[in-house]
Amino acid sequence: MLIHVHPENPQPRAIRTIVDTLREGGIIIYPTDTIYGIGCDIFQPKAIERICRIKQVDPAKAQLSFICYDLSDLSQYTKSISTPLYRLLKSHLPGPYTFILPASKEVPKILKSRKDTIGLRVPGNNIARTIVRELGHPILSASLPGEMVEEYTDPEMIQSNFGKLVDVVVDGGIGGWTPSTIIDCTQDPPELVRQGAGEWSESE
C-alpha cells in the first residue's frame, strides 16, 4: 500500500494508518532527511527479524539504528549523557546524523550490537518524527536492501520494487541519495565512521 503524506503537514488520518500498521507488527518504507529507510516498531521483534531477512543480514550482526522524536526521547535509550556530549547532540540534531552511543536497558536486546551500543537518529524530517511521536516510541531505521540506485529516491518506484515485501510505502516526495553521517560517540573524542549528508570536522 502506497500512502501519500504531506512533507510539511502530515495528514493525521494517514499517520494513524501508518502507526496502526506498526503497532500490528507491520513494516514500512518511509522518508527521512537523507534516504528512504525501511523500519518497524522497535518493540516488535518479529518485524525486526523480517527486515533482517529482507536485507539478508543476521540480526545479531546487523548494525541497526533507530529514529527518536527529539533529544529527550533519545536520552531514554542511551546511558547518561555528559554535558559536552549533550551539547554536541543538541548542535547537530535534528539532522542527517546517526550517533553511536552506549545502549540503555530500554533498548530491545535484538537491537544492541555486541559492544552494547546503538545507533540513534533524530532526522530533520517531519513525516518520520510525526510517526515516532504518534507511535510513542522509536522506529527502526535501516537502508533499503541492495545497492543505492536511482529507484531508491522515488516512492512510486520503491512501491513497485518493494511493495510486496512491506506493508506500507510512505510517499513523502522524492528522497535523497546520500545516507546519514555516522559518528561513534563511545570514543573520546567522537570518531567519524562514515561521512554522509551531515557536515563533520574532526575538531568537533
The answer to whether residues 174 and 33 touch, using CB atoms and an 8 Å cutoff, is: no
- Structural domain harbouring 146: 2-194
pLDDT band at 203 (very low <50, low <70, confident <90, very high): low
pLDDT tens digits for 173-186?
Answer: 999 989 999 999 99
pLDDT of 129 strictly over 90: yes
What does pLDDT average to over the chain? 91
Q: Look at residue 203 and tell me if it is in a domain.
A: no
- Does 138 reside within a domain? yes
Q: Is residue 200 part of a domain?
A: no
Asked if the model's pLDDT at residue 79 lies above 90, the reply is: no
Residue 77 lies in a domain: yes
Cell of 134: 504518534
- Whole-model pTM? 0.91
Q: Residue 204: inside a domain, yes or no?
A: no
pLDDT band at 111 (very low <50, low <70, confident <90, very high): confident
Tell me the CA distances in angstroms from 70 to 11, 84, 108, 135, 194, one per residue in order: 20, 18, 19, 14, 22
Q: How many domains does the chain have?
A: 1
**pLDDT greater than 60 at residue 153:** yes
**Phi/psi of residue 159, nearest 5 degrees:** -60, -45
The DSSP bridge partners found for residue 30 are 37
Residue 156 belongs to some domain of the structure: yes
What is the b/e burial string over 34-69, where b = at least 16 CB atoms within 10 angstroms of the residue's CB?
Answer: bbbbbbbbbbbbebbebbbebbeeebeebebbbbbb
Indicate the pLDDT class of residue 58, thresholds 50, 70 and 90.
confident
| CATH number of the structural domain spanning residue 157 | 3.90.870.10
For residue 80, is it within any domain? yes
| pLDDT confidence tier of residue 113, bands split at 50, 70 and 90 | confident
